[in-house]
Structure 1
Amino acid sequence: MFVKVCGLSTPESVRAAAESGADAVGFVLTRSPREVTPGRVRELLADVPAGIPAVGVFRHEAAEAAVALAREAGLGWVQLHGDRGPADVRTVHDAGLKLIRAVTMSAAPGAFADWGEELLLVDAAVPGSGEAWNYASVRDRGLAGRHWLLAGGLDPGNVAVAASQAGAWGVDVSSGVESSRGVKDLAKIRDFVTAAKSAAAKP
């Protein structure tokens, strides 16, 4: 099970994610309680082990602007939320970066097609709510065999069941490992990664 821990903002939270076995880490470079500056990301990258993708997360910024900020932050991956098209994928790839394209369950069926992104992230119909949703409904989106991440309302207590219900290749978490909005709980980070990885090992 591929596990991404997102919204990190301190060296301690980055180390907790990496040391517990997370496969990727995310830094929010758009307006959010978890927002960090490109300069801060550069500092935090010192605690990201080689080989672990570090992802810059953007909401409604144009792909060109997201690429510029990601480069400023020293990142090789971009995660784009919002209303996107295949041209956005080309923009990111033409810049030499890799892409996680985020869609919500309320998106049109065509948004779930493979546009060439490295990973697709499937979020709740209302992203950011932090509430669990009908994870099994993702199976109707034709993602079998694809590399994609399940997100939205996941926490250490439900990630194993949610991933199984959805048939997820990987999972992404942010608010589900926080003690308060925007403040990561190091124990929850470790518990989440352990639960997700343990679930993947079960028959």
Structure 2
Amino acid sequence: MYVKICGLREPEHVHVAVDAGAHAVGVVMNRTSSRRATDDEAMAVVSAAGGRVDTVLVVNDMPAEDAARAARRLGFDVLQLHGPAYGPADFATALAIVPRVWRATSLSADPSLRVGASGEEVLLLDSPSPGSGEQWDASTLAADAPEGTWLLAGGLAPDNVAAAVRSVRPWGVDVSSGVETAPGRKDNDLITAFVRAALTA
């Protein structure tokens, strides 16, 4: 089970996630997000990861070319293009600059559930309101889940991730608000608990 902890801005939380067994850490650089990181914060997260896990730059309101150049400049391993604003041409543009691009979308957008439909390496399925902690009925995917490398996200937390994994059987899981005590404020104990619950599901 691949585990990604998203919305990080502080090196301390990166170390906690890695020590707990996470496989990726994400940094959000959306203009409207409470988790928006500065360039310096983003570089600090990448530095703290030290090549031990995948580092993922998450954007939803930045042109794909600008986002890809930012991912390369800041040293990220992966660019995650999040939301319906990005079409196949945007993925092609990004992939010409960075080799690893993920597609994140919501079921409410009626997306293609084929991993790689836009050339992405990984598909992430999120709730209708990404980063809100809003839960959705993941059991709707149980009979028609994507095949291959895809992440389940949206309303996951230490107390429900194991049940979601058993129900839907994703390749991996992603969390942000579910390991926070307030919007944008990560908690070390919640990070550790989430990773352990996901890995032992």
TM-score, normalised to structure 1, is 0.91
In structure 2, give the amino acid aligned to 1:16. Answer: V
CA RMSD of aligned residues (A): 1.5
Question: Does the alignment pair 1:135 with 2:131?
Answer: no
Q: What is the distance in 1 between the residues matched to 2:54 and 2:87?
A: 23
Q: How far did 1:162 drift?
A: 0.9
Question: Does the alignment pair 1:44 with 2:54?
Answer: no
Matched positions, count: 197
Q: 1:156 aligns with which of 158, 168, 172?
A: 158
Q: What is the distance in 2 between the residues matched to 1:35 and 1:21?
A: 24
- Structure 1's consecutive aligned runs of 4 or more residues displaced over 6 angstroms after TM superposition are none
Judge conservation of contact 2:135–2:156 (CA < 8 Å) in 1: yes
Judge conservation of contact 1:100–1:121 (CA < 8 Å) in 2: yes
- Please list every run of 5 or more consecutive structure 2 residues that lacks an aligned counterpart in the other structure: none
Q: How far did 1:48 drift?
A: 0.4
Corresponding position of 2:20? 20
Judge conservation of contact 1:104–1:125 (CA < 8 Å) in 2: yes
What does the per-residue CA deviation read over 1:94-136, in whole Å, with 9 as the maximum and x for residues that have no partner? Answer: 1133111001011224x32332211100011333331221101
What does the per-residue CA deviation read over 1:112-171, in whole Å, with 9 as the maximum and x for residues that have no partner? Answer: 233221110001133333122110112354513x10000000000000001221221100
Corresponding position of 1:87? 89
Q: What is the distance in 1 between the residues matched to 2:126 and 2:57?
A: 17
Judge conservation of contact 1:112–1:141 (CA < 8 Å) in 2: no
Question: Does the alignment pair 1:11 with 2:36?
Answer: no
Range 74-83 or range 150-159, more displaced = 74-83
TM-score, normalised to structure 2, is 0.92
Corresponding position of 2:120? 117
Q: SS at 1:112's partner residue?
A: coil
Q: SS at 2:200's partner residue?
A: helix
Judge conservation of contact 1:38–1:72 (CA < 8 Å) in 2: no
Q: What is the distance in 1 between the residues matched to 2:20 and 2:76?
A: 21
Quickly say closer, same or farther: Cα 1:138–1:172, change in 2 above 3 A: same
Q: How far did 1:52 drift?
A: 1.1
Q: SS at 1:88's partner residue?
A: helix
Corresponding position of 2:57? 56
- Please list every run of 5 or more consecutive structure 1 residues that lacks an aligned counterpart in the other structure: none
